[in-house]
């Protein structure tokens, strides 16, 4: 995993080596082990290397093919590179997966990406065709940003690299900021929070030829699912277990030490337990987890019990309220764009410790809720499907089973149903379907000039549940999680791997029949069934624990002076995005809420936006 950058100048104008060096220097944290550039007239590729596979100098990038007609700068991992080598044959000069990409591009051209299983973002300069071929992995785990202006094409792993060399003034993207503040949307399209800077969508390629850009989708997930044979009964669980085993196996490939993250829930427990089964013990692996202050007593026992059961040592980090304020500046710089609050802080602290202990690879459990329909709000979409296909009586029975499983209080029946259905229809809502955005707080001038048509999420399936999963995977939940995880890890030169969103598991999870995902009120049904042989009952059958984020309470207690100082500042009014009086009024109301407020997303939005604007535009 590395940092990539590049400049394609107008014909007749050479790329400045100094500019290219500025770009790679700005992402040096992504690759502390080596650096390199390739310059050829108006073509410039740059690279910062984090050595994971073949740590020798043979893995230096940018890397050419044998006749030096192709040059690549590559960030990520091709997990199935060993199998691809055997399949293609031929002689290789290195043991790297980078060389495999070049070999497959020579053989298959743009279709080479259809052969890869991994997390990747790369650019290949093809000197024969005079094109720049770029690609991003199926789920967009690895970032690829670009800017095409005045005939010049810039690209990089992080936005800050483009900002380091673009001479024209970069402005905030007010339409995206409006979506963020009014609806809670972010990382939902190929646009970014910076005007004129875009990203290649997940599962797409980009070809630059004669100053023209062509973007194509190489992984059409709806088409894959439609053509996929539907299986039922034990088959889905068995197939999930088989693919997960292979996914963890190939993602454990590394020539450097590997760590794993455990949260105590089903998803990360599955990954850790499968790794234990494959390797036969902890051996040289490190197992990490973080807990939030007083919440440690809720989650910690589950983590300790699993670690003890498989015989692994577990190391804990405790996140305190002061950490959020202390890390805020560095997180804003690392992330470049808005990000989730406390979860991102936890990832930063974990990655920092991992790097200090010389562990540059971490496996996590992200994505399980999206592929297995594990979030509470999926129930609304699922019940709509059941009612339409099997009638209201069956849907009611499913709802009652869910409520009994989760020990709902009397009279909560209608509230839960309305909230989860609203979450599907409205989309700008929290897990329980309640609204978290506060559009009435916006500055009227900003709202009037920036509001456009509301972003319409694609709905390619005839199933409400599948459409909701698709939305979360490509436009809401998962892109945010992957963005924050990559930037947090790479800020310290650590590679974050995500075995549960191997593209084969995503195809399986979305394509599985609804009754294999949710049955008798049990969500992630096929995943729990697959876990029977490797996880104890108390983990695989435990309902998802909706532990309230301590951020909700911290903002009205320990962090109140900090938040109030930001909301009262002169800068907030000058920035012109929020109505300061209404912000302060809402914050007072928030702090006076008895107990723990329903959510704190809007407080985080305003707090983070002000820090972001100050960092990049003041």
Residues 174, 44, single domain; the answer is yes
pLDDT of residue 441: 93
Q: Is residue 288 part of a domain?
A: yes
User: Angle CA(78)–CA(82)–CA(84) in degrees, nearest 5?
Assistant: 75
| Per-residue pLDDT tens digits for 236-260 | 999 999 999 999 999 999 999 999 9
Residue 547: its pLDDT value, please? 58
pLDDT at 311 over 70: yes
Instruction: Annotate 373-392 with b (16+ C-beta within 10 A) or e (fewer).
Output: bbbbbbbbbbbbbbbeeeee
Question: Is 340 part of a structural domain of the chain?
Answer: yes
Domain contains 411:
no
Same domain flag for 47 and 94: yes
Mark whether 555 and 536 lie in a shared domain.
no
For residue range 487-542, list pLDDT tens digits in order: 999 999 999 999 999 999 999 999 999 999 999 999 999 999 999 989 988 888 87
Q: 175 lies in a domain?
A: yes
In a domain, 440, yes or no: no
Q: Are residues 10 and 64 in the same domain?
A: yes
SS3 state at 213:
strand
* 67 labeled binding residue: no
Phi and psi (nearest 5°) for 176? Answer: -75, -40
Q: Is residue 224, in this structure, part of any structural domain at all? A: no
CATH number at residue 56: 3.60.20.10
Q: Nearest to residue 271, comparing CAs of 529, 527, 543?
A: 527
8 Å CB contact between 210 and 157: no
Say if residue 135 is in the same domain as residue 178. Answer: yes
pLDDT value for 234: 53
**Do 175 and 255 share a domain, yes or no?**
no
Pairwise CA distance, residues 293 & 133, whole Å: 47
Within this chain, do residues 524 and 585 fall inside the same structural domain, yes or no?
no
Q: What is the structure's pLDDT at 439? A: 82
CA neighbor of 348 nearest in space, from 364, 366, 331, 333: 331
Residue 74 pairs in a beta bridge with 122
Residue 161 is assigned to a structural domain of this protein: yes
Q: Do 536 and 554 sit in the same domain of this protein?
A: no
Residues 176, 287: one domain? Answer: no
Active site residue 2: yes
**What's the mean pLDDT in 445-452?**
92
Domain total in the chain? 3
58 and 157 fall within a common domain: yes
pTM for this one?
0.95
Closest-CA residue to 337 (of 480, 477, 446) = 480
Separation between Cα atoms, residue 454 and residue 571, nearest integer Å: 28
Report the alpha-carbon angle 136-366-111, nearest 5: 20
Q: Are residues 524 and 554 in the same domain?
A: no
Same domain, 207 and 277: no
What is the extent of the structural domain holding 56?
Answer: 2-186+194-219
- Considering 2, 112, 134, 198, which one is annotated as catalytic? 2
**Per-residue pLDDT tens digits for 139-190:** 999 999 999 999 999 999 999 999 999 988 899 999 999 999 999 999 999 9
């Amino acid at each position: 995993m590395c940092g990539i950058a590049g400049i394609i100048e107008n014909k007749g104008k050479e790329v400045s080596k100094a500019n290219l060096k500025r770009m790679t220097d700005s992402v040096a944290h992504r690759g502390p082990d080596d650096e390199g550039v390739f310059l050829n007239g108006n073509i410039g590729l740059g690279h910062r290397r984090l050595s994971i596979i073949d740590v020798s100098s043979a893995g230096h990038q940018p890397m050419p093919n044998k006749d030096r007609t192709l040059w690549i700068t590559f960030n990520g991992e091709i997990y199935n590179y060993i199998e691809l080598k055997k399949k293609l044959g031929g002689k290789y000069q290195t043991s790297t997966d980078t060389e495999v990409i070049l070999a497959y591009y020579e053989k298959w051209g743009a279709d080479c990406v259809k052969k890869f299983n991994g997390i990747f973002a790369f650019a290949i300069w093809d000197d024969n065709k005079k094109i720049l071929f770029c690609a991003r992995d199926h789920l967009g785990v690895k970032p690829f940003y670009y800017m095409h202006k005045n005939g010049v094409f810039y690209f990089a792993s992080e936005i800050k690299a483009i900002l380091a060399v673009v001479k024209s003034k970069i402005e905030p993207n007010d339409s995206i900021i409006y979506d963020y503040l009014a609806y809670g949307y972010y990382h939902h399209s190929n646009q970014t929070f910076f005007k004129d800077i875009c990203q290649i969508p997940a599962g797409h390629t980009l070809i630059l030829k004669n100053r023209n850009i062509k973007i194509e989708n190489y992984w059409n997930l709806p088409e894959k699912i439609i053509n996929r044979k539907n299986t039922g009964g034990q088959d889905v669980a068995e197939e999930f277990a088989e693919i997960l085993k292979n996914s963890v196996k190939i993602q454990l490939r590394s020539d450097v030490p590997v760590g794993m993250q455990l949260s105590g829930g089903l998803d990360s427990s599955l990954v850790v337990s499968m790794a234990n089964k494959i390797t036969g013990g902890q051996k040289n692996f490190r197992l990490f987890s973080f807990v939030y202050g007083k919440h440690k007593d809720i989650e910690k026992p589950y983590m300790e019990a699993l670690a003890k059961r498989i015989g692994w040592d577990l190391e804990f980090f405790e996140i305190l309220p002061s950490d959020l304020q202390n890390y805020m500046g560095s997180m804003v710089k690392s992330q470049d764009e808005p990000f989730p609050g406390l979860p991102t802080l936890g990832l930063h602290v974990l990655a920092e410790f991992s790097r200090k202990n010389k562990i540059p690879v971490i496996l996590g459990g992200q994505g399980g809720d999206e592929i297995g329909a594990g979030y509470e709000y999926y129930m609304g979409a699922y019940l709509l499907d059941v009612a339409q296909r099997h009638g209201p009586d069956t849907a009611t029975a499913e709802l009652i089973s869910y409520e009994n499983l989760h020990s709902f209080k009397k009279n909560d029946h209608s509230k839960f149903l309305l909230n989860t259905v609203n979450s599907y229809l409205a989309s700008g809502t929290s897990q329980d379907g309640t609204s978290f955005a506060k559009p009435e707080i916006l500055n009227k001038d900003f709202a009037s000039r920036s509001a456009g048509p509301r972003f319409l999420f694609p709905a390619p399936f005839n199933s409400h549940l599948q459409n909701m999963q698709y939305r979360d995977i490509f436009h809401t939940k998962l892109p945010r999680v992957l963005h924050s995880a990559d930037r947090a890890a790479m800020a310290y030169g650590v590679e974050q791997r995500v075995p549960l969103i191997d593209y084969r598991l995503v195809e399986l999870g979305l394509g599985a029949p609804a009754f294999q995902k949710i049955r008798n009120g049990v969500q992630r049904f096929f995943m729990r069934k697959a876990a029977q042989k490797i996880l104890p009952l108390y983990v695989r059958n435990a309902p998802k624990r909706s532990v309230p984020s301590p951020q909700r309470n911290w903002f009205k207690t320990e962090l109140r002076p900090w938040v109030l100082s930001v909301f009262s500042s002169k800068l907030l009014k000058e920035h012109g995005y929020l109505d300061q009086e209404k912000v302060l009024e809402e914050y007072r109301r928030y702090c006076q809420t008895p107990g723990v407020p329903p959510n704190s997303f809007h407080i985080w939005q305003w707090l983070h936006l002000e820090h972001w604007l100050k960092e990049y535009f003041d």
